[in-house]
A = this chain, B = another copy of it.
Amino acid sequence: MTTSWIDSFFGLSRLPLDIRAELGVGSEIVSMPIGTKVFAPGQSNDTLLLLLEGTVRVQQRSETGKEVILYRVNAGESCVMSTACMLAYEDYSADGIAETDVKAVAIPRSTFDGLVAKSSVFREFVFSAYSRRMTDLFKLIDDLIFQRVDVRLASRLLSLADTLGEVRATHAALATELGTAREVISRTLSEFQRREWVAQSRGVVRITQREALERLVRSSGGEV
């Protein structure tokens, strides 16, 4: 079957056979190169995307040109923002960008609507994706208000690090990750470096004492 991808999605594995068939026929697998705008304020996108490979970064740009990263959509997750895009509710400033090359299942509006109508499993999948994003946003708001930037930076470094403990990002990029200023990142990283928790070189932060960073994060009630 062409619908073998369905089992990549936790909430969809329980779909009955007829629905699986409908989903397989009514959808399409698409590939997008890194940097593609998956959805954007103006552009009305008429498909729901289920990510098979890669990640999509959802960020918000403000009038002043500054931006924050709201959350990331990873393989196995769906990009429900684009369904909200379908409804084109008001103007929101969030846009989605392919952070890597991306392979995804595109479900056009008509198929989506039919599946929501017919399948309770699919409904649950969609609604739980929505609440997932909601809780992500709640978490972000909580962090923005209550967490210190050193803790947030430590946490983000840990989650961005590759298997070697390296994070390939400029200070400016990290500032955008956290919605803060580049200078703040520079100063905080200098302090981390002074304590020998990380080593820096142009465009790269290498974690040298993962333990210490984890301790910092945990000490302020965070996970990871």
Contacts and interface: CB of A to CB of B under 8 A. Distances in A.
30 contacts: A60-B138, A62-B145, A64-B146, A66-B145, A70-B138, A70-B141, A81-B134, A83-B127, A84-B134, A86-B127, A87-B124, A87-B127, A87-B128, A87-B131, A89-B128, A89-B131, A90-B135, A92-B131, A92-B134, A93-B142, A94-B138, A113-B123, A116-B116, A117-B120, A117-B123, A130-B130, A133-B134, A134-B137, A137-B141, A141-B141
Interface residues of A, number: 42
Interface string A42-65: 000000000000000000101110
Contacts of A68: 141-142, 145
Chain A binding site: helix, strand, loop or mixed by DSSP?
A: helix
Interface of A: 60, 62-64, 66, 68, 70, 81, 83-84, 86-87, 89-90, 92-94, 113, 116-118, 120, 123-124, 127-128, 130-135, 137-138, 140-142, 144-146, 179, 221
